[in-house]
Structure 1
Amino acid sequence: MLKKILIWNSITQLLIFLLALFFYKQADLLAYINVSFVIGITLILLSMAGYVIKGRFFDIVFYSFQHIFSRLTEKDRQPLSRLVPQNYQLPLITGTVTILLMFLALSFY
Structure 2
Amino acid sequence: MQTPYQILDVAVDANDVEIKQAYLQQVKNNPPDHNQQQFQLIHDAYSAIKDHKSRVSHALFTLPTANFDSVLDKLLHTEQAPDFNAESLHKLLTIDLEDASLINAFTRPDKT
Using structure 2 for the length normalisation, give the TM-score: 0.24
Between Structure 1 and Structure 2, which shows a larger proportion of helix residues?
1
Query: Higher relative contact order at CA 8 Å, sep ≥6: structure 1 or structure 2?
Result: 1
